[in-house]
Chain A
Amino acid sequence: MGLARYAIKRAVHSLALVFFVVSLDFVLFRCMPGNPIARLLDPRMKPEMKAYLMHLFGLDRPLWEQYLLYIKNLMTGNMGYSFITLRPVSEMIMDRLPWTLALMVPSVVFSLIIGTLIGVYASWRRGGLVDVTTTIVTMVFYAMPVFWLGGLLMLYFAVYLGWFPIAGAVTPGATYNSIFDEITDVVWHATLPMLALTLITVAYNFMLTRDVMLDAVSQDFILTAKAKGISEGKIMFKHAFRNALLPIVTNAVLSLAGTISGAILTETVFSWPGLGTLTYQAIEAQDYPLLQGLFFIYTVVTIIAIYFLDLTYGFIDPRIRR
């Protein structure tokens, strides 16, 4: 199968998957315990007001009609209106998206780079001091709840040392002389949440790299390379690491795609105004249109990432296209 045909076939599969997940979301929200509109319909509300709101949100129509309307609106980019703020869901998501990307992308990139490098090195020195120490340290951070680690970071770096702010993404009321000042202010605010996220997620990348590298370095060709007298660095990165690359790339792409959903707990602990806190608010307020919109965005981004990953595999290894 040619690459173009393969790409079209995967695109059709991906679209079908998006449609399936979107439909599942629609059904799930209506199967959840309790009435999704109970929050909206305050028990003290007059019947005419209830009817008006039901009509406004299309809840007075039969379920199949609601479903068709939902799909039609999604196709035209209309994700509906939030039950709580009554603002368009797409507008609320776009307000928060830059903040999530500003926090999550650097954290994920740092975590991937650091985790991969120390994973490669630890696997090469398996059982040595570096391997044992990095395994213990990264696992300790991995086991820490983020609200606890976040609290500790705030206490030491924000309260005792005063180096960083406690919460938020910008200094309230600040005026900036240049865009550089503004960016620096955001970086200053993002440092602690970024540090917490990186410390907690680095273990996963470390362990994954270490595991796949251990498989690679136990292969015969590595022994052959050693027997040939090739340098350690060359064997490690040119021979072993290249063979272990596929799962690491998969993890990297999926991690980057996952940044879109933010980090609910980290964003909440540090009051970071991203999509994670928006999701938390939507759950707390049972704002179903907003939740559906957020889930839709998460689904689409993840499926697009998987699509490109599939294409990359097909390009790297033509056997996959068959």
Chain B
Amino acid sequence: MRRIGVSKGIVAAIIIIIAIIIAAALSYKPTAPSKPTAPPKKKPPVTLTLPMKSDIVALNPLNPNTNTVWNVYVFWLVDPSLPLITLKSDWSDFTGWAAKSWEISAENGRTVFTVHLRQGMKWSDGKPITADDLIFSLNYVIEKDLAPTWKEMFDKAVKVDDLTVKIYLKDQYPLAYFWSYIPSIIPKQVYENVKDPVHWEPKISEYVGAGPYKLVKWVKGQYVELEKKDSWWGTSIWNGPLVDKIILRVIKTDDAILLALKKKDVAADTWYVPPTSLVMVNSLPYIKVITKADPGFYYLAFNLRKKPMSDLAFRKAIAYCTPKEEIVKTLLLGQAYPMPAAPISEFYAEHGYLAPNLPKYEFNLTKAKEVLEEAGYKDVNGDGWLEMPDGSPIKVTILTPSYDPIRVRAGEMIAANAKKVGLNVESRAVDFNTIVEDVWPSSGEPTFDMYILGWGVTDLEPFYLRDFFHSSQDVVVTHGMGLNSPGYNNSKFDEVIDAAVKTIDKNKRKQLFYEAEKYLAGDLPYVPLYSRAANYAYNIEDWAGWCAEWQNGPASWDNIWTFLHIHKAT
């Protein structure tokens, strides 16, 4: 019995050790991030904590891999590259950031963008920000081949005085089109010594920026700490920022972010609230949830270079076999908008960019059968599947990305409906890379039949229609670089969309977009499926000054207006 006592002793010892560890952990009170070190009367610093779903990648804004939303937080707040202009809080128009004002004129049918920089701007190393920095930046990104679209647009930049630069473009473009391509100002004194800007990485202690905050700590994989600058050139203009510290901490899952929001560990959910969590989030009295239409959209694309996808009747039949309403209702729990026949998401529709009276292809299997019959599709060999009017057999596949169950299921639903009308259509979930390889080969013709993917778009107006459908952007023509994956080639559409991106008058431009959309809705290179309704949650009990009208959400990566004006609620 004595030996049994020893084993009990071992168990007891382990329990005591575990208990000590848990007790030590429970009794632990972390030193407040904002522990004051100054005289006792001074108020403790105000710290805003927000979640990031992934860590930032690097600190150099010219490294193409830093093009992530989490990196943009740091880039906007520290401004290692300083944007000239940005959008007003309601996205109704542009407003200056580094630019105090600007004029747009025309010389020999080409746009001249004259920029007047703000006076008194300084980099964090004390050097003034001048016309020389801007001209250096405009040329540097071309010299280093970092901005191909800008290279196509940009002609030259001429210094007028220390704060004024005339930027000459090669053609006539409206600001709404070219603004997002203008390179931001980078510190000349830093980059003129950098030969390979893609692979260069600055040290935190030498990180030069022009923004309201400075980067003080980056604990890799865990958090980024930003501290308000003692003096910033923008404070007198925007009366901000008001928060002393911003901590961006990595919380990888939606569930954990929402629990952190519930516990008030973070001030907002910086990602979309999943539809399944809306009930829980709505039940929290201190959290406000708002819904915004996402500009991006999801679509089914046809390979128009191959039969039967080259036949409009087949494409129309597939459009009639696509249950957009059901996809939205059952797969997205209603948190999305079914797309019209043209690829114009709800966001653009709300801003008046959806052409009136476009053809509708509402889910209707009878109509699909009629379209095919009228076009001469018949089951000639009696195998139970329809053949093309010329007798060619039909056996086609819809590729869907395996990482997204919604698109996988949508593909299956469309294929099942197509089978009901006699079309031998399969849906196959594959790795994203496989789709990219089939759709964007660097040589030869794309091999896919149909695929379902999505586009994230950030244009103010549907300029993306040119990238996605102009014949010059065909994947084959551009050796895998263009975005016109269907191989859509309609000279009338090309003419209209070319005119749209070069028309200065906004109303005339809108009419041209309408005309372009009519071609797309009639020819159906895409069956647009749905655009998402993005839900954003943020704490209104402890924090005030949110800029909720910003399209990407009140705590989004690019919502500088929130970061300038957010403060503790009284």
Q: Tell me, yes or no, whether A binds B.
A: yes
Residues of A within 8 A of B74 (CB): none
Q: When the two chains form their complex, are residues A47 and B481 in contact, meaning their CB atoms are under 8 A apart?
A: yes
A86-B65, A173-B225 known; A39 and B6 CB under 8 Å?
no
Q: When the two chains form their complex, are residues B245 and A173 in contact, meaning their CB atoms are under 8 A apart?
A: yes
Interface flags for B183-206 (1: CB within 8 Å of A; 0: not) read 000000000000000110100000
Interface flags for B547-569 (1: CB within 8 Å of A; 0: not) read 00000000000000000000000
Tell me whether A95 is interfacial, beta carbon within 8 Å.
Answer: yes
How many A residues are at the interface, by size bracket? 35 or more
Q: When the two chains form their complex, are residues A43 and B245 in contact, meaning their CB atoms are under 8 A apart?
A: no
Tell me whether A7 is interfacial, beta carbon within 8 Å.
Answer: no
Tell me the A25-49 residues at the B interface (CB within 8 Å): 32-36, 38-39, 41-49
CB distance from B480 to the nearest CB of A (A): 6
Select from chain A the residue with minimum beta-carbon distance to B216. Answer: A173
Tell me whether A269 is interfacial, beta carbon within 8 Å.
Answer: yes
CA A181 to CA B475, docked complex, whole Å = 58
Q: When the two chains form their complex, are residues B253 and A46 in contact, meaning their CB atoms are under 8 A apart?
A: no
At the interface with chain A, which of B28-36, B317-325, B333-341, B414-422?
Answer: B28-36
Q: When the two chains form their complex, are residues A184 and B245 in contact, meaning their CB atoms are under 8 A apart?
A: no
Tell me whether B148 is interfacial, beta carbon within 8 Å.
Answer: yes
Q: When the two chains form their complex, are residues B33 and A171 in contact, meaning their CB atoms are under 8 A apart?
A: yes
CA A49 to CA B14, docked complex, whole Å = 59
Interface flags for A148-172 (1: CB within 8 Å of B; 0: not) read 0001001100110011111111111
Interface flags for A98-114 (1: CB within 8 Å of B; 0: not) read 01000000000010011
CA A188 to CA B30, docked complex, whole Å = 9
Tell me whether B430 is interfacial, beta carbon within 8 Å.
Answer: yes
Tell me the B1-15 residues at the A interface (CB within 8 Å): 1-7, 10-11, 14
Q: When the two chains form their complex, are residues A237 and B28 in contact, meaning their CB atoms are under 8 A apart?
A: no
Tell me whether B49 is interfacial, beta carbon within 8 Å.
Answer: yes
Residues of A within 8 A of B245 (CB): 173
A110-B18, A172-B249 known; A43 and B7 CB under 8 Å?
no
CB distance from A34 to the nearest CB of B (A): 3
Residues of A within 8 A of B506 (CB): none
Tell me whether A135 is interfacial, beta carbon within 8 Å.
Answer: no
Determine which of A34, A43, A114 lies in contact with B14 in the assembled complex, contact meaning CB atoms within 8 Å: A114
Q: When the two chains form their complex, are residues A84 and B57 in contact, meaning their CB atoms are under 8 A apart?
A: yes
Tell me the B259-301 residues at the A interface (CB within 8 Å): 259-260, 262-263, 265
Determine which of B64, B249, B431 lies in contact with A33 in the assembled complex, contact meaning CB atoms within 8 Å: B431
Count of chain A to chain B residue pairs whose CB atoms are closer than 8 Å in the complex? 196
At the interface with chain A, which of B110-118, B358-366, B433-441, B529-537?
Answer: B433-441
CB distance from A175 to the nearest CB of B (A): 5
CB distance from B499 to the nearest CB of A (A): 24
Tell me whether A64 is interfacial, beta carbon within 8 Å.
Answer: no
Tell me the B55-82 residues at the A interface (CB within 8 Å): 55, 57-58, 63-65
At the interface with chain B, which of A71-79, A205-213, A227-235, A312-320?
Answer: A227-235
Residues of A within 8 A of B105 (CB): none
Tell me whether B219 is interfacial, beta carbon within 8 Å.
Answer: yes
Tell me whether B479 is interfacial, beta carbon within 8 Å.
Answer: yes
Tell me whether A261 is interfacial, beta carbon within 8 Å.
Answer: no
Tell me whether B54 is interfacial, beta carbon within 8 Å.
Answer: yes
Q: When the two chains form their complex, are residues B49 and A191 in contact, meaning their CB atoms are under 8 A apart?
A: no
Tell me whether B160 is interfacial, beta carbon within 8 Å.
Answer: no
CB distance from B366 to the nearest CB of A (A): 38
At the interface with chain A, which of B19-27, B91-99, B170-178, B516-524?
Answer: B19-27
Tell me whether A8 is interfacial, beta carbon within 8 Å.
Answer: no
Interface flags for B244-263 (1: CB within 8 Å of A; 0: not) read 01010111110110011011
Select from chain B the residue with minimum beta-carbon distance to A92. Answer: B220
Residues of B within 8 A of A321 (CB): none
Residues of B within 8 A of A169 (CB): 222
Tell me whether A218 is interfacial, beta carbon within 8 Å.
Answer: no
Q: When the two chains form their complex, are residues A43 and B11 in contact, meaning their CB atoms are under 8 A apart?
A: no
CB distance from B80 to the nearest CB of A (A): 17
Select from chain B the residue with minimum beta-carbon distance to A157. Answer: B26
Select from chain A the residue with minimum beta-carbon distance to B430. Answer: A33
Tell me whether A286 is interfacial, beta carbon within 8 Å.
Answer: yes
Tell me whether A185 is interfacial, beta carbon within 8 Å.
Answer: yes
Tell me the B388-428 residues at the A interface (CB within 8 Å): none
Tell me whether A273 is interfacial, beta carbon within 8 Å.
Answer: yes
Residues of A within 8 A of B256 (CB): 151, 154, 166-167, 269-271
Q: When the two chains form their complex, are residues B481 and A33 in contact, meaning their CB atoms are under 8 A apart?
A: no
A151-B255, A154-B259 known; A35 and B249 CB under 8 Å?
no
A171-B30, A173-B223, A233-B1 known; A187 and B25 CB under 8 Å?
yes
A237-B3, A269-B253 known; A168 and B222 CB under 8 Å?
yes
Select from chain A the residue with minimum beta-carbon distance to B54. Answer: A281
Tell me whether B47 is interfacial, beta carbon within 8 Å.
Answer: yes
Residues of B within 8 A of A164 (CB): 25-26
Interface flags for B152-169 (1: CB within 8 Å of A; 0: not) read 000000000000000000
CA A87 to CA B201, docked complex, whole Å = 9
CA A44 to CA B403, docked complex, whole Å = 22
Residues of A within 8 A of B217 (CB): 173
Residues of A within 8 A of B57 (CB): 84-85
Tell me whether A174 is interfacial, beta carbon within 8 Å.
Answer: yes
18 contacts between A and B (CB under 8 A): A33-B434, A43-B481, A46-B481, A84-B65, A85-B57, A85-B58, A86-B63, A110-B18, A168-B249, A175-B33, A232-B4, A236-B7, A238-B3, A271-B252, A271-B256, A278-B221, A281-B54, A286-B433
B interface residues (Cβ-Cβ under 8 A, vs A): 1-7, 10-11, 14, 18, 21-22, 24-26, 28, 30-35, 47, 49, 54-55, 57-58, 63-65, 145, 148, 198-199, 201, 217, 219-223, 225, 245, 247, 249-253, 255-256, 259-260, 262-263, 265, 430-434, 436-437, 440, 442, 475, 479-483
Known contacts A165-B265, A236-B3; 11 additional CB pairs below 8 A are A44-B148, A86-B58, A110-B18, A117-B11, A166-B263, A173-B33, A173-B225, A184-B25, A188-B28, A269-B253, A286-B433
- Listed from nearest, the 9 A-B pairs whose CB atoms lie closest are A233-B3, A34-B433, A173-B33, A273-B221, A171-B30, A172-B223, A43-B440, A233-B4, A34-B434
